[in-house]
Amino acid sequence: MSRYAYVNGRYLPFRDAKVHVEDRGYQFADGVYEVCQVRGGRLIDERRHIERLQRSLGELRIPLPMSVKALGVVLREVVAKNRVRYGLVYLQISRGVARRDHAFPSPAVTPSVVVTARALNMRRNEALAATGIAVISVPDNRWGRVDIKTIGLLPNVLARQTAIEQGGRDAWFVDKDGVVMEASSANAWIVTAQGALVTRHADHAILRGITRAVVFDAVKGQGLSIEERTFTLQEAFAAREAFITSATQLVLPVVKIDGRIVGDGKPGPVASALRREFYRYAEAG
């Protein structure tokens, strides 16, 4: 049986059911979803699922691009077109398609809506329930593995957006002990009052930046030393300089943190020199 999906206003055969490569759901996980059970061709607990959907959308400030009633029609239509009697209907709404940038698109774009449905094997599911299942335990690290450069960037997106709304350019993630982790899409650095370059050690809690590694080489090349350790926001407030590093921003001086001037409020000599010297240590292919 051929399958159908709803994609942004159209019911399409599965092979044609595509979203744009710059959909923010695809690039940032900047979206939400719901799954309803289908039984006897009817949606189970639709009202509750739609309420949770609206809450999720509200938390991300993504508008529902159609009425709840129209959405209900789409869900049913996809179930019917796929002739699902027992199974599931899947709904995903992302912030929409826009040039890749962590911050919300401005002006806003129309959110993307995708709905699919498929049958499940009731006999198999009942057999499973009759025997019961085994589970294993794992540490709850959702999501404690930001060392992996995944596209699960929703926290980064929200941090960047908050920074922009508060008149900043970027945000630094700080943990519960006041330790600076990294920026929303860059590594964070300070130069202490004593002149030491400090950046957080790379473990599972930050992304091991390529630019960060190049700066390590540049610093050594200039006879300076790096302290690879945690530093707190308080330390950053008292720093002589602060900066961030990333492939697209290189070494970018930070002159203000949470409204407080860093150093003399101007790009400092260490960050400026590292920016200047960067290409001596980077590899050009």
Backbone φ, ψ for residue 240 (5° rounding) = -75, -40
In this chain, which stretch among 81-89, 217-225, 239-247, 267-275 interacts with ligand PLP, using CB under 6 A? 239-247
Site for ligand PLP, residues 154 to 173, rule: CB under 6 A: 156
Q: What angle do CA 18, 22, 23 make, to 5 degrees?
A: 60
Q: Is 23 in the site for ligand PLP (CB under 6 A)?
A: no
Smaller CB separation from ligand PLP, 6 or 189: 189
Q: Which of 18, 149, 220, 256 is catalytic?
A: 149
User: Which residue type does 21 have?
Assistant: V
| Sequential DSSP letters for the chain | ---EEEETTEEEEGGG----TTBHHHHH--EEEEEEEEETTEEESHHHHHHHHHHHHHHHTPPPSS-HHHHHHHHHHHHHHTT-SSEEEEEEEES-B-SS-SSPPSS--PPEEEEEEEE--HHHHHHHHHH----------TT--TTS--S--HHHHHHHHHHHHTT-S--EEE-TTSBEEEESSSEEEEE-TT--EEEPPPSTTS---HHHHHHHHHHHHTT--EEES--BHHHHHT-SEEEEEETTTEEEEE-EETTEEPTTSS--HHHHHHHHHHHHHSPP-
Smaller CB separation from ligand PLP, 210 or 224: 210
Active site residue 149: yes
Compute the least distance from the CB of residue 182 to ligand PLP, in Å: 5
In this chain, which stretch among 103-111, 164-172, 244-252, 265-273 interacts with ligand PLP, using CB under 6 A? 244-252
The span from the CA of 196 to the CA of 6, in Å, is 56
Stretch 78-97: interaction string toward ligand PLP, x if CB under 6 A: --------------------
Site for ligand PLP, residues 182 to 211, rule: CB under 6 A: 182, 185-187, 207, 209-211
Smaller CB separation from ligand PLP, 38 or 250: 250
Smaller CB separation from ligand PLP, 82 or 246: 246
**CB 46 within 8 Å of CB 75:** yes
Site for ligand PLP, residues 245 to 274, rule: CB under 6 A: 245-247
Compute the least distance from the CB of residue 157 to ligand PLP, in Å: 11
Compute the least distance from the CB of residue 225 to ligand PLP, in Å: 20
Smaller CB separation from ligand PLP, 94 or 156: 156
**CB 78 within 8 Å of CB 116:** yes
Smaller CB separation from ligand PLP, 64 or 174: 174
Compute the least distance from the CB of residue 170 to ligand PLP, in Å: 10
Stretch 112-151: interaction string toward ligand PLP, x if CB under 6 A: ----------------------------------------
In this chain, which stretch among 78-86, 108-116, 180-188, 227-235 interacts with ligand PLP, using CB under 6 A? 180-188
Residues that bind ligand PLP (CB under 6 A): 156, 182, 185-187, 207, 209-212, 245-247
Q: Any idea which residues carry the catalytic annotation? A: 149
